Structure 1
Amino acid sequence: MLFTQYYLDCLSQASYLIADDRTGRAVLVDPRRDIDEYLTDAKAHGLTIEGVVNTHFHADFLAGHLEVAAATGAWIGYGSRAETEYPSRKLTDGERISLGDVTLEIMETPGHTPESISILVYEHADDAVPYGVLTGDALFIGDVGRPDLLASFGVTAEELGRMLYHSVQHKLMGLPDEVRVFPAHGAGSACGKNLSTERQSTIGEQRRTNYACAPMSQERFLALVTGGQPAAPGYFAFDAVLNRKARELFDHARPARPLPPAEFLAARADGAVVVDARDPQEYAAGHLRGALNVPADGRFAETAGSVVAPDRPVLVVTPQDREEEI
């Protein structure tokens, strides 16, 4: 088995490539929109990415399922409750996806969102105990996914919380202690309140140390997981909807275009917001009046998404040679 975790620090977001090295068949889970690293690694190992699975409709970032499908021909999979504008495969509880001997098994774990799934990973199809479980935003290291985000329309936080109780307390905690836990987010993510900096754990360790995994009543669980949550960034609902839609693909070959001062100032006069990505010290020493300072180093993506409305044109002022990154 080939098992690779990719981690994007500014979103505390993890994605995964799982493959059978004998057949070369692979599945990508929760990919970000810039897919070059996945494609490069797949080519280096002689892999064919056959499927791309999102564990749920992500709210904190625009996922790369459409980019992966366009580049590889892979099918796109979600939990059975998901409805998408683009062709997608509904994955049901207990369904197995064979990559050769390496096998994935779908476990429906609603609660963070109604369509949330976890994915059991078996190194060998006949193994009694899975190698690990990709828990998406259902179970984090030290926490569980919050049920109160605006990622799920028509379902209340209490209804989701009751789903999450069953998913965590009965389904995930029903797995053997030695099963490794690979979540979709780590410390710093707004998808929970108590996430660890560790990027993997075990079911046994979470059973012992995670406050939400200790045996308790449903009412006690709801009180714990809904209390003290930070405010959700304003762009979360926008991204959750966009991840359902057939939207424009990201094109890394289309470079950012430098603007001459007159064109820049004209765009600003027409209502474009200016995001200045320089260090705060440089910004403080001198900047365009009205420009928003969102430093490139740190939680740039989430912060920019929180302070810039999605319907506003954006102009960026960047540190030298970081134009493409920003």
Structure 2
Amino acid sequence: MKIEQIYTGCIAHAAYYLENNGEAAIFDPLREVQPYIDKATKDNATIKYIFETHFHADFVSGHLDLAKKTGAQIVYGPTAQPNFDAIIATDGQEFKIGNYTVRAIHTPGHTLESTCYLLLDENENMHGIITGDTLFIGDVGRPDLAQKLVSDLTQEKLASMLYDSLRNKIMPLPDDLIVYPNHGAGSACGKNMSKETTDTLGNQKKVNYALRADMTKEEFITELLDGLGAPPAYFPQNVLMNIQGYDSLDTVMAKANSPLSPDEFKTLANQSEALLLDVRHESEFVKEHIPGSIFIGLQGNFAPWVGALIMDVQQPILLIAPEGKEKETITRLSRVGFDNCLGYLEGGLTSWKAAGFETDSVVSITAEQFAAEKDQTRLTIVDARKPGEFSAEHVDGAINIPLDFVNSQLAEVPTENDFYLHCAGGYRSVIMASILKARGYHNIINVEKGMSGIRNTNTVLTNFVCPSTQN
């Protein structure tokens, strides 16, 4: 069977391209749709269907643009109510892609409309199943997203539905069936996903905690909800965009891909109350940046951190980006619904300084300097990593303020004296430093390379079981 997984690591997303006998289908496409069109053109194929496993929360799908550009029909599972033309498949309904068959299997639980797509080859043999967020490799989808949009739903009700969907619809299928999920490790749509992006159903029955044969529904619900942190704030906003529609990426790009002189940039920043987003490397931001700008570097988990920390997808944004990376940045912002980019600083920080405008910096030291200073005196240390990372190992005496929660835990940020800030490798601590500096905290000393550097010094490390209130 000709099926290709198209994996985008920065948001841990998998789309799928299925082609046979001059017809093609795309499953869960990203916002930028030209690569799918190019694949079909190369195969002399027509894209016939765009299958959506559910209304996605962690990214804005490309279904509308792809349908407009190709004439393909959008397909959702039962109970879906989009604000645009789409086929609402019945449970068990089949669709032909050349000589292949795609069978819709309604699997509510992650969301009410969640649907998996069973793939049958030209001989009607079962080959694989595209599971969306119903079944991951090593995990299953979180059941607490649809309740944000449907008031009488609870995560317990959805978890109960998911248990039934897995036991009654997925687990009875053949063990040699290939599982093709929508996400891999790093996605916030689950909590225990593997780095592997495909597996056989039979192996998942052996190793996936949620598929234990002797698991009761009560045990499933308890284990699924245990340790499930709050979803990022942008998730419900992305769901609504996927249901209601959105501007074409071409329109977004035409507006955002606009070079601005330093004077134009500064004037627009003052007039629009735009957020100044600096996406360069953290080492560059630390040395010099525009005062008040927020750092979220392209080289890290850029889009998920934008969504988690900026909160409102309507927020106007002005970019400071490496030369030649402006279009990439705008595209990656659009993947998570941030379409209100007003333009970028032409010439970057070089042109800003040439115009005579001031810059700021972050005090930053090496891990070796940090260890030497800690040997001499008791330091105030803030660890920006997640609670689980902090529990496993941290600097003796450090306090944990996870970057995810910095906006809600500002009261815990030290104010009287300088404090030392670190994360795992140096990326998150600079993000946090930029947010705090923009809010008026200037008593920050960043520790370069974070724990990866600190471990190579003589700094005393310890373990600690975090209280549940920090989860």
The answer to whether TM tops 0.5 is yes
Deviations 1:108-141 (A, max 9, x none): 11111000000000112532xx100000000000
Deviates more, 1:78-87 or 1:304-313: 304-313
Are 2:8 and 2:14, in contact at CA under 8 Å, matched by a contact in 1? yes
Q: Specify which of 297, 300, 303 is matched with residue 299 of structure 2.
A: 297
Structure possessing the higher radius of gyration over alpha carbons: 2
After TM superposition, give the deviation of residue 266 of structure 1 in Å. Answer: 1.7
Match of 2:134 in 1: 138
Query: SS of 2:277's equivalent?
Result: strand
Q: Counterpart amino acid of 1:318?
A: A
Map of 2:261 onto structure 1: 260
| C-alpha distance in structure 2 between counterparts of 1:226 and 1:283, whole Å | 38
Residue 144 of structure 1: SS of its match in structure 2? coil
Q: Measured at CA, do residues 87 and 125 of structure 1 come closer, stay the same or move farther in structure 2, by a change above 3 Å?
A: farther
Aligned-partner Cα distance in 2 for 1:137–1:238: 18
Q: Is the 8 A contact 1:190 1:230 kept in 2?
A: no
How many angstroms apart in 2 are the aligned matches of 1:280 and 1:153? 40
Contact 2:17–2:26 (CA under 8 A) maintained in structure 1 = yes
Alignment partners' CA distance in 2, 1:44 and 1:126: 26
Cα distance in 2 for residues equivalent to 1:107 and 1:125: 20
- 2:10–2:302 Cα contact (<8 Å) kept: yes
User: What amino acid maps onto 1:49 in structure 2?
Assistant: I
2:173 and 2:72 mapped to 1: Cα distance? 30
Shift of 1:307: 1.9
The answer to which of 250-259 and 184-193 deviates more is 250-259
Equivalent residue, structure 2, for 1:288: 290
Note the C-alpha offset of 1:299: 1.1
Note the C-alpha offset of 1:168.
1.4
For the Cα contact (< 8 Å) 1:103–1:125, is it kept in 2?
no
Q: 2:318 aligns with which of 312, 315, 319?
A: 315
Residue 48 of structure 1 deviates from its aligned partner by: 0.4
Superimposed CA distance per residue, residues 65-108 of structure 1 (whole angstroms, 9 cap, x where no aligned partner): 00110110011111111111111110111111012321110101
Verify the 8 A CA contact 1:109 1:168 in the aligned structure 2: yes
Give the conservation status (yes or no) of the 8 Å contact 1:113–1:152: no
CA contact (8 A) 1:96 1:103 kept: yes
SS in 2 for 1:275: strand
Give the counterpart letter for 1:248 in structure 2.
D
Report how far residue 230 of structure 1 moved: 2.7
Structure 1: runs of 5 or more not aligned:
none
Contact persistence 1:294–1:303 (CA under 8 A): yes
Name the counterpart of 1:205: 203
Match runs of 1:175-194 below 5 Å: 175-194=173-192
* Percentage of identical aligned residues: 38
Aligned amino acid, residue 263 of structure 1? E
Please give the residue correspondences for 1:94-243 in structure 2 after superposition, counting only pairs within 5 Å.
94-127=92-125, 130-150=126-146, 152-154=149-151, 155-215=153-213, 216-243=215-242
Rounded to whole Å, the distance in 2 between the matches of 1:95 and 1:84 is 19
Whether the aligned pair in 2 keeps the contact of 1:142 and 1:211 (CA below 8 Å) is: yes
1:198-243: CA deviation from partner (whole Å, max 9, x where unpaired): 0100110100000000021111000111111133111000000110
How many residues of Structure 1 are paired with residues of Structure 2 in the alignment? 322
- The structure whose RCO (Cα within 8 Å, separation 6+) is larger is 1
1-side partners of 2:96 and 2:313: how far apart?
Answer: 40
- The alpha carbon displacement at 1:152 in A equals 4.3
Letter in 1 for 2:8: L
Contact 1:63/1:243 (CA < 8 Å) preserved in 2?
yes
**Larger mean Cα displacement after TM superposition, 224-233 or 140-149:** 224-233
Task: Please provide the CA RMSD for this pair.
Answer: 1.3
Contact 1:12 1:186 in 2 (8 A): yes
Alpha-carbon distance between aligned partners in 2 of 1:283 and 1:272, rounded to the nearest angstrom:
19
When structure 1 is superposed on structure 2, of 98-107 and 43-52 the one drifting more is 98-107
Structure-2 separation of matches of 1:4 and 1:126 = 19
SS in 1 for 2:50: strand
Alignment check: 8 A CA contact 2:27 2:50 kept: yes
Tell me the SS of whatever aligns to 1:311. coil
Q: State the distance in 1 between where 2:124 and 2:137 align.
A: 28
Is the counterpart of residue 248 in structure 1 residue 251 in structure 2?
Answer: no
Structure 1 position 247, deviation (Å): 2.0
Compute the displacement of 1:312 (Å).
Answer: 1.6
Q: Note if 1:10 corresponds to 2:10.
A: yes
For 2:417, the equivalent position in structure 1 comes to: none
Greater helix proportion: 2
Paired amino acid for 1:262: D
Q: Are 2:337 and 1:324 equivalent residues in the alignment?
A: no
TM-score (norm. length: structure 2): 0.67
Supply the AA of the counterpart residue of 2:66.
V
Aligned to 1:74: 72
Deviation of 1:44 (Å): 0.3
Aligned to 2:82: 84
1:10 maps to a residue whose letter is: C
With 252-261 and 201-210 compared, the bigger mean Cα shift is at: 252-261
